Amino acid sequence: MKPPRPLLTLLAALLTTPLAQAQTQVVPLPLSGPAYRLAQQAYAASARGDFQRAQAQLREAIRLRPDSMELRRQLRQLREQRSAGAATRDAGYADASAAYRATAAGRQDDAVRLARQAVAKSPRNDAYWLLLGNALIQARQYEQAAQALAQGRQVAGASLPLQRRQLELQREMGAMQAALAMQARQGDDVAAELAAARMAVRYVPENLSYRLLLATALLRDGQLQQAEQVADEARARDEWRAGPLLLRGYARLRQGQVEQAMADFTQARTLARGVEQVPAWLLQADAELALQRPQRALALLDEAGVDLGDPLRAAQWRQTRQAAQQALTRYRRASLALHEQAWPADAAPLTARQFPVPALDCSTGAALDGCVVVPGELPREPGYEQAVLAYRAMEQKDYAGAADAAGMALQQSPDNADYRMLQLDALVAAQRWLAADAAATDALDRQAVEPGPMLARRGAIRQRLGRRDQALADYRAALEAGGLPL
């Protein structure tokens, strides 16, 4: 007996395991395990004409996977075909059957060759075009597979299985390009990341996460206007998601459009739900810090009623709040001496170091319908590892060890003001007054810090050393320089 062509079409579509699933699509779980093996066996039985066995195997597969509508459709098709009688074999049948057997045996090159022969002999048979497309996919010839499926729809006419497989392949290719973009990001290959993100959007333009991926890649490449445009397009597709607004706000802030940017951040916070909430508040707080407005950042964090159950986000929250508190205490810029001022219109644009490019969290639990925009991380400096050791030693009250580690960090990253403050804090805590005086003087000579606060600190250190005249001179100079906390 000969297998019914529509059944082979559906079985071939079912047994093609997708390479990846688009994150913004709700799709059935792919078959696996016993249900998948039974579907394969049912396909083989139908190819032999043993429809009774195929029907029994499909029923068992449905029992294992009652959620699979595809299995139910196949069983219905099998029953309809048995009652209607077998279809007539066409010229490509023998080659198609051989191609199915080659696919089952893992001989992909033979499967592609035989499937091409089948469509050449019977070009109106959509099952053979589907077979060719799937064979090419199994052989990892994805572009050729897309071409074969498109050609099949043109030649064989309207075909739901071909259309469905074509859409699945586009989603799979988009997911593969998105994965390549994420891999390139981990390797800090911005050009490759950008190229792959563009391809992902091209394959699946309706996928919001891919547009967010492209926007972040453009931001990392410094293409701020283009990133703003992509984020705006993403927002037009879904006005109720916080991610596009957060990225557009970031792009605008980096371009000096402060009011528009802060409006985007504020609106994003009102839209954020679930796992989006904490990152949205953190990004706006980071923006306030980048604008040298630590008081606003602190007020923002203090008023937020968000769930900090995620340990990673809770740690970021504490770090951001600590940074805001330190900035407020030290008043590193003289313009903040008495009160916070508006960001000057002629100020230099913010850099990625002042405000790191946001990242995407695409983990399984991040969001049900895509990736979440989260705060980015500053690039690690050469002295980072030593600085971590110094901070850890400070927590353990090993002030001497902290001072030594901070000194090594500063040697590797001499322009890092935070490492200088860390070293000075450790030296003061260790009561190494001479070394602390030298560290403060070096920071002032290098103009690595705001002079007012550092002069005041050096004055206190010199007072400890009994150098009263030098201490008073430092205090007077600090008052003249400004930048002291009230």
Q: Which residues of the chain have pLDDT under 70?
A: 1-32, 43-50, 77-88, 304, 306, 308-313, 315-316, 319, 322, 325-349, 364-369, 378-381, 483-486
Instruction: Tell which residue, 265, 364, 276, 266, has the closest CA to residue 313.
Output: 276
Query: What one-character-per-residue DSSP string does 152-207 give?
Result: HHHHH---HHHHHHHHHHHHHHHHHHHHHHHHHHHTT-HHHHHHHHHHHHHH-TT-
Structure tokens at 234: 């993403």
| DSSP bridge pairs for 361 | 372
pLDDT of residue 392: 84
DSSP string computed for 101-125 = HHHHTT-HHHHHHHHHHHHHH-TT-
Cβ neighbours of residue 69 closer than 8 Å, sequence gap 6 or more: 28
Give residue for tokens 């900035």. 327
CA atoms of 358 and 337, how far apart (whole Å)? 30
pLDDT for position 434: 94
Return the amino acid letter for 414: P
CA distance 374 to 286: 11
Helix, strand, coil share (%) of the chain residues, nearest 5: 70, 0, 30
The Cα-based distances of 178 to 190, 210, 361, 374 in angstroms read 13, 7, 13, 18
Nearest CA to 438 out of 419, 418, 423, 456 is that of 423
Q: What number of H helices and E strands is found in the chain?
A: 23, 2
Give the fold, CATH level 3, of 5-157.
1.25.40
C-alpha 130/C-alpha 10 separation (Å) is 9
Token pair listed for 300: 């923002």
Name, in order, each residue with C-beta under 8 angstroms of 336's C-beta and a sequence gap of 6 or more.
Answer: 292, 294, 483
Distance CA 305, CA 160 (A): 49
CATH entry, 187-271, from 1.25.40.10, 3.90.580.10, 3.40.47.10, 1.10.460.10:
1.25.40.10
Q: What phi and psi values does residue 359 have, to the nearest 5 degrees?
A: -115, 175
From-to residues of CATH 1.25.40.10 in the chain: 5-157, 187-271, 384-481
The pLDDT score that the predictor gives to residue 376 is: 85
pLDDT value at residue 466 = 93
Per-residue pLDDT, 268: 94
pTM for the whole structure: 0.62
Rounded CA-CA distance 473/486 in Å is 20
CATH class of 384-481: mainly alpha
